[in-house]
Amino acid sequence: MKAEIITIGDELLIGQTIDTNSAWIGAELSRLGFEVTQITSIPDRRERILKMLNEVTGRCDVVLITGGLGPTSDDITKQTLCEFFNTTLITNQEVLGMIELMFQRRNLPMNENNRRQADVPASCRVLFNATGTAPGMWFEKGGTIFISMPGVPLEMKYIMKEHVLPELGKRFRSRIILHKNIMTYGTYEAKLAELLEVFESQLPSNIKLAYLPSLGIIKLRLTASGNNQNELSRQINEQVQKLYKTIPQYIYGEDEETMEMAVGRILKEKKLTVCTAESCTGGMIAHLITSVPGSSAYYKGSVIAYDNSVKTDILKVKKSTLNKYGAVSREVVEEMAQGALYIMNCNIAVATTGIAGPDGGSPAKPVGTLWIAVASANGIKSEKYQFIHDRETNIKHFSTAALNMLRLAAVSE
């Protein structure tokens, strides 16, 4: 079973809107056992839409289309679909009633553009949309199913969940595809591939391994395909256990667990509290920790010690330490962590100091230099890191590295 995704809209091509629809649709289709063979973004141009529709006809089972169904003059998808399927627009009275009721409930006036949203190609099966004014449309031609939906993510997802996925699930009962993600941190992709060379060579023929790196984190995705879900689950779990035995030092979580989620899980399990003292990360670590629901159970607070006076006055870093070693040093970051641990009375404190860039570096301490310290009643540990990216990326790397050190410290508490 093969599927393709087509997204329509000039805003996608000029970078004004990020295409999140394709990722979501692809994941849902994969769960049904479809192989997504191509994702294409095209402009709001009649000739480009027709060309793309002609190309995909017959080469895949299902085509999912999003975008171009709005009420304005640049939304031309419906008219172009009429041309492609040799039909005309008609007013669907049920859709029109839904639109009128929606405007009445919101106490808004309707105009002709809104009414035209109820116009649909006569040959399509209408997919009703309770979250917006544009319905979805289901066509079939040349052995291919075409499904056109609004580009608004909320509306697209409603139509997919309520209409498209249930129907595709009934029509296409074939192989099952299962995915399992293992989240790793602490090494680079080439090294990880080297460590997993034997593991990968021994995988069953129906299981594939993919490496998906992002900002220091490498997601290992195991994909199993077959006809028996229980057997596939057993096979996947067996390979996961092998991964834990092969690279235990790098695995921090599973599925879509972020580093901050993993930290929170461990802190809650161990009933530990944490605080942060941040210089170069500017509160990013605190933001990540508190982005996890329930973080109030383990997070106490933060000191954003960007200026040296805050380091000395609040965190009680010695001026002599700053003068002798500089703000970006092991000695300073350790005193920052110890100060935060004391003033916030928590179990673990993590501190950062470094040079995010683009300037401020020196030959001895170039841009991207980072010191992290983690302090607890069991003592203090500090490490130096060196990154080579732009300011924004460096700060993200700094924060992830600090969270990982915090995670490891919490595990050992």
Which helix (H) or strand (E) element contains residue 119? strand 119-121
pLDDT attached to residue 174: 64
> DSSP string of 69-104?
-SSSTT--HHHHHHHHTT--EEE-HHHHHHHHHHHH
Q: How far apart are the first and last CA of the chain?
A: 50
Contacts of 337 (CB under 8 A, 6+ apart): 277, 349, 350, 351, 373, 374, 375, 380, 382
Question: Which span out of 8-12, 144-148, 213-217 was modeled with the highest average pLDDT?
Answer: 144-148
Q: Span 333-343, mean pLDDT? A: 98
Contacts of 118 (CB under 8 A, 6+ apart): 91, 92, 93, 95, 96, 99, 135
pLDDT attached to residue 175: 72
Q: Span 263-292, mean pLDDT? A: 98
Neighbours of 122 (CB within 10 A): 12
Instruction: Give, to the nearest 10 degrees, the angle between helix 77-84 and helix 46-56.
Output: 50
Contacts of 251 (CB under 8 A, 6+ apart): 182, 183, 184, 243, 244
Q: Which CATH architecture has domain 176-254?
A: 2-Layer Sandwich (3.30)
Which helix (H) or strand (E) element contains residue 109? none
Domain range summary for the chain, segments of one domain joined by +: 2-171, 176-254, 260-412
pLDDT attached to residue 83: 96
Q: What is the rounded radius of gyration, in angstroms, for the C-alpha atoms of the chain?
A: 27
Predicted confidence (pLDDT) per residue in 167-181, tens digit: 998 888 767 888 999
Residue 307 has pLDDT above 90, yes or no: yes
CA 372 to chain centre: 26
Predicted confidence (pLDDT) per residue in 205-226, tens digit: 999 999 999 889 999 999 998 8
Query: What confidence category does residue 1 fall into, taking pLDDT thresholds of 50, 70 and 90?
Result: confident
Predicted confidence (pLDDT) per residue in 183-201, tens digit: 999 999 999 999 999 999 9
Q: Span 386-404, mean pLDDT? A: 95
Which residue do the tokens 């099952």 mark? 176
Predicted confidence (pLDDT) per residue in 312-322, tens digit: 999 999 999 99
Residue 32 has pLDDT above 90, yes or no: no
What tokens appear for 368 in the block?
Answer: 């991207």
Q: Which CATH superfamily is domain 2-171 in?
A: MoaB/Mog-like domain (3.40.980.10)
Q: Which CATH superfamily is domain 260-412 in?
A: CinA-like (3.90.950.20)
pLDDT attached to residue 40: 97
Instruction: Fill in the amino acid letter for 12.
Output: L
Instruction: Fill in the amino acid letter for 16.
Output: Q
Domains 2-171 and 176-254 are alike in CATH topology: no
pLDDT attached to residue 31: 84
Contacts of 343 (CB under 8 A, 6+ apart): 303, 314, 315, 316
Burial class (CB in 10 A: 0-12, 13-18, 19+), 199: middle
Q: Span 358-364, mean pLDDT? A: 93
Rounded mean pLDDT of the chain?
A: 95
Predicted confidence (pLDDT) per residue in 75-124, tens digit: 899 999 999 999 999 999 999 999 999 898 889 898 988 898 999 999 99
Q: Span 1-30, mean pLDDT? A: 94
Q: Span 10-14, mean pLDDT? A: 93
Contact in structure between 314 and 343 (CB atoms under 8 Å): yes
